[in-house]
Amino acid sequence: MNATIERFLQYLRHERNLSWRTVDTYQRDLLQWEAYWTAGGHPLDLLTVTPSDIRTWIMERASQGDCSATLRRRVQALRALYRYLLKKNLVSTNPAAQVELAKLPKPLPKLVREKTVDALLDAEVDESDFTQVRDRLIVMLFYETGIRLSELIGLQDAAVDTVTCELKVHGKRDKDRLVPFGSELARWIGCYRTLRDGVRPECGNLLVTAKGKPLYPSLVYHVVHDGLAQAGGTGKLSPHVLRHTFASVMLNRGAQLNSVKELLGHESLAATQVYTHVTLSELQHNYELAHPRALKKGG
Protein backbone atom coordinates (compact mmCIF):
# COMPACT_ATOMS: atom_id res chain seq x y z
CA MET A 1 0.00 0.00 0.00
CA ASN A 2 1.16 3.52 -0.79
CA ALA A 3 2.70 5.08 2.33
CA THR A 4 0.68 8.28 2.05
CA ILE A 5 -2.58 6.34 1.80
CA GLU A 6 -1.55 4.33 4.87
CA ARG A 7 -0.91 7.53 6.84
CA PHE A 8 -4.28 8.88 5.73
CA LEU A 9 -6.04 5.74 6.96
CA GLN A 10 -4.21 6.01 10.28
CA TYR A 11 -5.37 9.60 10.50
CA LEU A 12 -8.98 8.51 9.97
CA ARG A 13 -8.67 5.80 12.63
CA HIS A 14 -6.81 7.66 15.36
CA GLU A 15 -7.47 11.37 14.84
CA ARG A 16 -10.90 11.39 13.23
CA ASN A 17 -12.01 8.36 15.27
CA LEU A 18 -14.04 6.95 12.40
CA SER A 19 -15.48 3.47 12.75
CA TRP A 20 -13.49 0.52 11.46
CA ARG A 21 -16.20 -0.13 8.90
CA THR A 22 -15.93 3.39 7.46
CA VAL A 23 -12.12 3.23 7.37
CA ASP A 24 -12.30 -0.17 5.70
CA THR A 25 -14.51 1.29 2.98
CA TYR A 26 -12.03 4.13 2.39
CA GLN A 27 -9.20 1.60 2.24
CA ARG A 28 -10.92 -0.61 -0.34
CA ASP A 29 -11.70 2.35 -2.62
CA LEU A 30 -8.22 3.81 -2.37
CA LEU A 31 -6.56 0.44 -2.95
CA GLN A 32 -8.76 0.06 -6.02
CA TRP A 33 -7.49 3.43 -7.20
CA GLU A 34 -3.88 2.46 -6.50
CA ALA A 35 -4.28 -0.85 -8.33
CA TYR A 36 -5.68 0.96 -11.36
CA TRP A 37 -2.81 3.46 -11.37
CA THR A 38 -0.02 0.89 -10.92
CA ALA A 39 -1.44 -1.63 -13.40
CA GLY A 40 1.05 -0.39 -16.00
CA GLY A 41 4.01 -0.94 -13.69
CA HIS A 42 4.31 2.68 -12.51
CA PRO A 43 4.25 3.63 -8.80
CA LEU A 44 1.40 5.86 -7.60
CA ASP A 45 2.41 9.51 -7.49
CA LEU A 46 -0.40 11.38 -5.75
CA LEU A 47 1.22 14.73 -6.47
CA THR A 48 0.83 14.43 -10.25
CA VAL A 49 -2.75 13.10 -10.39
CA THR A 50 -5.09 15.24 -12.52
CA PRO A 51 -8.91 15.45 -12.68
CA SER A 52 -8.68 13.78 -16.09
CA ASP A 53 -6.89 10.79 -14.52
CA ILE A 54 -9.70 10.38 -11.99
CA ARG A 55 -12.42 10.73 -14.63
CA THR A 56 -10.76 8.04 -16.74
CA TRP A 57 -10.67 5.73 -13.73
CA ILE A 58 -14.35 6.39 -12.95
CA MET A 59 -15.31 5.67 -16.55
CA GLU A 60 -13.35 2.43 -16.38
CA ARG A 61 -15.11 1.45 -13.13
CA ALA A 62 -18.49 2.28 -14.66
CA SER A 63 -17.69 -0.01 -17.60
CA GLN A 64 -16.93 -2.73 -15.03
CA GLY A 65 -20.44 -2.40 -13.62
CA ASP A 66 -20.04 -0.05 -10.65
CA CYS A 67 -23.37 1.60 -9.82
CA SER A 68 -23.82 5.36 -9.35
CA ALA A 69 -23.63 5.13 -5.55
CA THR A 70 -20.33 3.22 -5.73
CA LEU A 71 -18.85 5.66 -8.25
CA ARG A 72 -19.80 8.59 -6.01
CA ARG A 73 -18.22 6.90 -3.01
CA ARG A 74 -14.95 6.27 -4.86
CA VAL A 75 -14.63 9.93 -5.87
CA GLN A 76 -15.53 11.04 -2.35
CA ALA A 77 -12.76 8.80 -0.95
CA LEU A 78 -10.25 10.56 -3.22
CA ARG A 79 -11.63 13.96 -2.24
CA ALA A 80 -11.12 13.08 1.43
CA LEU A 81 -7.58 11.88 0.75
CA TYR A 82 -6.66 15.12 -1.01
CA ARG A 83 -8.27 17.23 1.70
CA TYR A 84 -5.88 15.47 4.08
CA LEU A 85 -2.95 16.21 1.75
CA LEU A 86 -4.00 19.87 1.55
CA LYS A 87 -4.15 20.02 5.34
CA LYS A 88 -0.59 18.66 5.46
CA ASN A 89 0.49 21.16 2.76
CA LEU A 90 1.58 18.32 0.49
CA VAL A 91 -0.53 19.48 -2.47
CA SER A 92 -1.92 22.82 -3.59
CA THR A 93 -5.17 21.62 -5.18
CA ASN A 94 -7.71 18.83 -4.82
CA PRO A 95 -8.07 17.21 -8.28
CA ALA A 96 -10.98 15.02 -7.11
CA ALA A 97 -12.98 18.13 -6.18
CA GLN A 98 -13.12 18.98 -9.90
CA VAL A 99 -14.69 15.62 -10.78
CA GLU A 100 -18.47 15.69 -10.87
CA LEU A 101 -20.15 13.07 -8.72
CA ALA A 102 -22.32 10.49 -10.47
CA LYS A 103 -26.00 11.32 -10.17
CA LEU A 104 -28.06 8.99 -8.04
CA PRO A 105 -31.30 7.72 -9.57
CA LYS A 106 -34.32 9.33 -7.94
CA PRO A 107 -36.62 6.80 -6.30
CA LEU A 108 -40.16 6.80 -7.65
CA PRO A 109 -42.85 8.03 -5.26
CA LYS A 110 -44.57 5.35 -3.20
CA LEU A 111 -48.25 4.80 -3.99
CA VAL A 112 -51.26 3.10 -2.47
CA ARG A 113 -53.33 0.86 -4.70
CA GLU A 114 -56.62 2.45 -5.72
CA LYS A 115 -58.52 -0.62 -4.54
CA THR A 116 -57.00 -0.19 -1.07
CA VAL A 117 -58.19 3.41 -0.80
CA ASP A 118 -61.57 2.47 -2.24
CA ALA A 119 -61.92 -0.30 0.37
CA LEU A 120 -61.27 2.24 3.12
CA LEU A 121 -63.57 4.91 1.73
CA ASP A 122 -66.36 2.42 1.01
CA ALA A 123 -66.28 0.90 4.50
CA GLU A 124 -69.24 1.65 6.77
CA VAL A 125 -68.93 4.60 9.13
CA ASP A 126 -71.21 5.63 11.99
CA GLU A 127 -72.24 9.05 10.69
CA SER A 128 -73.26 10.12 14.18
CA ASP A 129 -69.74 9.55 15.54
CA PHE A 130 -67.55 12.65 15.34
CA THR A 131 -64.19 10.84 15.33
CA GLN A 132 -65.20 8.28 12.71
CA VAL A 133 -66.56 10.95 10.37
CA ARG A 134 -63.55 13.21 10.89
CA ASP A 135 -61.11 10.38 10.21
CA ARG A 136 -62.95 9.43 7.03
CA LEU A 137 -62.86 13.08 5.95
CA ILE A 138 -59.10 13.29 6.57
CA VAL A 139 -58.42 10.41 4.19
CA MET A 140 -60.86 11.76 1.59
CA LEU A 141 -59.25 15.20 1.64
CA PHE A 142 -55.78 13.78 1.03
CA TYR A 143 -56.96 11.41 -1.70
CA GLU A 144 -59.33 13.77 -3.51
CA THR A 145 -57.40 17.04 -3.31
CA GLY A 146 -53.72 16.02 -2.99
CA ILE A 147 -53.01 18.58 -0.28
CA ARG A 148 -49.98 18.29 2.00
CA LEU A 149 -50.14 17.29 5.66
CA SER A 150 -49.31 20.82 6.82
CA GLU A 151 -51.93 22.23 4.47
CA LEU A 152 -54.63 19.91 5.81
CA ILE A 153 -53.82 20.76 9.42
CA GLY A 154 -53.89 24.49 8.67
CA LEU A 155 -56.98 24.39 6.43
CA GLN A 156 -59.40 27.06 7.60
CA ASP A 157 -63.11 26.34 7.88
CA ALA A 158 -63.93 29.56 6.02
CA ALA A 159 -61.67 28.45 3.14
CA VAL A 160 -63.87 25.44 2.34
CA ASP A 161 -66.95 26.15 0.21
CA THR A 162 -69.28 23.19 -0.30
CA VAL A 163 -71.51 25.19 -2.65
CA THR A 164 -68.84 25.90 -5.27
CA CYS A 165 -66.94 22.73 -4.18
CA GLU A 166 -63.64 24.56 -3.81
CA LEU A 167 -61.15 24.92 -1.01
CA LYS A 168 -58.49 27.58 -0.63
CA VAL A 169 -55.17 26.09 0.43
CA HIS A 170 -52.40 28.11 2.05
CA GLY A 171 -49.31 26.34 0.74
CA LYS A 172 -45.54 26.60 0.71
CA ARG A 173 -43.89 30.01 0.35
CA ASP A 174 -47.15 31.62 1.56
CA LYS A 175 -48.86 30.92 -1.75
CA ASP A 176 -52.59 30.27 -1.92
CA ARG A 177 -54.31 28.07 -4.47
CA LEU A 178 -57.85 26.93 -5.19
CA VAL A 179 -58.48 23.19 -5.34
CA PRO A 180 -61.82 21.80 -6.60
CA PHE A 181 -63.48 18.74 -5.12
CA GLY A 182 -66.49 16.53 -5.81
CA SER A 183 -69.99 16.26 -4.42
CA GLU A 184 -69.22 13.19 -2.29
CA LEU A 185 -66.51 15.06 -0.41
CA ALA A 186 -68.86 18.04 -0.05
CA ARG A 187 -71.45 15.78 1.60
CA TRP A 188 -68.92 14.42 4.08
CA ILE A 189 -67.73 17.94 4.93
CA GLY A 190 -71.34 18.92 5.66
CA CYS A 191 -71.85 15.84 7.82
CA TYR A 192 -68.63 16.54 9.70
CA ARG A 193 -69.43 20.22 10.28
CA THR A 194 -72.74 19.30 11.90
CA LEU A 195 -70.97 17.01 14.35
CA ARG A 196 -68.08 19.42 14.91
CA ASP A 197 -70.44 22.10 16.20
CA GLY A 198 -71.10 19.78 19.13
CA VAL A 199 -67.46 19.75 20.25
CA ARG A 200 -67.27 23.56 20.30
CA PRO A 201 -64.08 24.15 18.28
CA GLU A 202 -61.59 26.58 19.83
CA CYS A 203 -60.08 27.66 16.50
CA GLY A 204 -61.08 28.47 12.93
CA ASN A 205 -59.63 25.26 11.47
CA LEU A 206 -61.85 22.95 9.49
CA LEU A 207 -60.52 19.83 11.21
CA VAL A 208 -60.17 19.63 14.99
CA THR A 209 -59.71 17.07 17.74
CA ALA A 210 -62.58 15.75 19.85
CA LYS A 211 -61.72 18.55 22.32
CA GLY A 212 -62.02 21.23 19.64
CA LYS A 213 -58.30 21.89 19.33
CA PRO A 214 -56.25 21.97 16.08
CA LEU A 215 -55.03 18.64 14.72
CA TYR A 216 -51.36 17.68 15.07
CA PRO A 217 -49.18 15.71 12.61
CA SER A 218 -48.85 12.44 14.55
CA LEU A 219 -52.62 12.16 14.99
CA VAL A 220 -53.22 12.65 11.26
CA TYR A 221 -50.44 10.22 10.37
CA HIS A 222 -51.94 7.48 12.55
CA VAL A 223 -55.43 8.08 11.14
CA VAL A 224 -54.13 7.55 7.61
CA HIS A 225 -51.72 4.71 8.40
CA ASP A 226 -54.11 2.70 10.54
CA GLY A 227 -57.03 3.18 8.16
CA LEU A 228 -55.08 2.07 5.09
CA ALA A 229 -53.51 -0.84 6.96
CA GLN A 230 -56.95 -2.09 8.04
CA ALA A 231 -58.06 -1.84 4.39
CA GLY A 232 -55.24 -4.15 3.36
CA GLY A 233 -52.55 -1.62 2.47
CA THR A 234 -48.89 -2.57 2.82
CA GLY A 235 -45.59 -0.73 2.71
CA LYS A 236 -45.39 2.95 3.50
CA LEU A 237 -48.85 4.27 4.37
CA SER A 238 -48.71 7.99 5.07
CA PRO A 239 -50.46 11.25 4.18
CA HIS A 240 -47.73 12.04 1.65
CA VAL A 241 -48.22 8.67 -0.04
CA LEU A 242 -51.90 9.59 -0.49
CA ARG A 243 -50.76 12.85 -2.10
CA HIS A 244 -48.56 10.84 -4.49
CA THR A 245 -51.48 8.54 -5.21
CA PHE A 246 -53.76 11.48 -5.99
CA ALA A 247 -51.28 12.78 -8.57
CA SER A 248 -50.84 9.38 -10.18
CA VAL A 249 -54.59 8.74 -10.34
CA MET A 250 -55.20 12.14 -11.94
CA LEU A 251 -52.61 11.49 -14.66
CA ASN A 252 -53.87 7.95 -15.22
CA ARG A 253 -57.34 9.38 -15.76
CA GLY A 254 -56.11 11.80 -18.42
CA ALA A 255 -55.48 15.02 -16.47
CA GLN A 256 -52.98 17.41 -18.05
CA LEU A 257 -49.58 17.56 -16.38
CA ASN A 258 -49.78 21.33 -15.88
CA SER A 259 -53.19 21.02 -14.24
CA VAL A 260 -51.85 18.47 -11.77
CA LYS A 261 -48.91 20.79 -11.09
CA GLU A 262 -51.31 23.59 -10.13
CA LEU A 263 -53.44 21.30 -7.97
CA LEU A 264 -50.38 20.06 -6.06
CA GLY A 265 -48.96 23.56 -5.66
CA HIS A 266 -45.62 22.65 -7.22
CA GLU A 267 -43.27 25.50 -8.06
CA SER A 268 -41.99 23.86 -11.24
CA LEU A 269 -43.24 21.31 -13.73
CA ALA A 270 -40.16 19.16 -13.08
CA ALA A 271 -41.47 18.30 -9.60
CA THR A 272 -44.69 16.99 -11.12
CA GLN A 273 -43.10 15.08 -14.00
CA VAL A 274 -41.88 12.34 -11.66
CA TYR A 275 -45.48 11.10 -11.53
CA THR A 276 -45.44 10.46 -15.27
CA HIS A 277 -42.71 7.88 -14.61
CA VAL A 278 -44.92 6.27 -11.98
CA THR A 279 -47.79 6.18 -14.45
CA LEU A 280 -45.64 4.62 -17.18
CA SER A 281 -44.30 2.08 -14.68
CA GLU A 282 -47.84 1.12 -13.73
CA LEU A 283 -48.87 0.85 -17.38
CA GLN A 284 -45.88 -1.36 -18.14
CA HIS A 285 -46.70 -3.60 -15.18
CA ASN A 286 -50.32 -3.96 -16.32
CA TYR A 287 -49.19 -4.62 -19.89
CA GLU A 288 -46.86 -7.39 -18.81
CA LEU A 289 -49.64 -8.96 -16.76
CA ALA A 290 -52.32 -8.75 -19.43
CA HIS A 291 -50.95 -8.62 -22.97
CA PRO A 292 -50.87 -12.07 -24.61
CA ARG A 293 -47.54 -11.47 -26.33
CA ALA A 294 -45.93 -10.22 -23.10
CA LEU A 295 -47.13 -13.36 -21.32
CA LYS A 296 -45.13 -15.55 -23.66
CA LYS A 297 -41.71 -16.53 -22.42
CA GLY A 298 -39.20 -14.18 -23.96
CA GLY A 299 -41.97 -12.08 -25.52
Catalytically active residues are 148, 172, 240, 243, 266, 275
Contact between 167 and 188 under an 8 Å Cβ cutoff? The reply is no
Closest CA to 148 of 169, 173, 175, 178: 169
> DSSP assignment of the chain, as one string?
--HHHHHHHHHHHHTS---HHHHHHHHHHHHHHHHHHHTTSPPP-GGG--HHHHHHHHHHHHHTT--HHHHHHHHHHHHHHHHHHHHTTS-S--GGGGSPPPPPPPPPPP---HHHHHHHHHS---TT-HHHHHHHHHHHHHHHH---HHHHHH-BGGGEETTTTEEEEE-GGG-EEEEE--HHHHHHHHHHHHHHGGG--SSSBSSB-TTSPBP-HHHHHHHHHHHHHHTT--S---HHHHHHHHHHHHHHTT--HHHHHHHHT-SSHHHHHHHHHHHHHHHHHHHHHH-HHHHSTT-
Q: Given CA atoms 197, 198, 202, 206 in this order, what sign does their dihedral have?
A: negative
- Which phi-psi region, left, alpha or beta, contains residue 110 (left: φ > 0; alpha: ψ -120 to 50)? beta
β-strand partners of 36: none
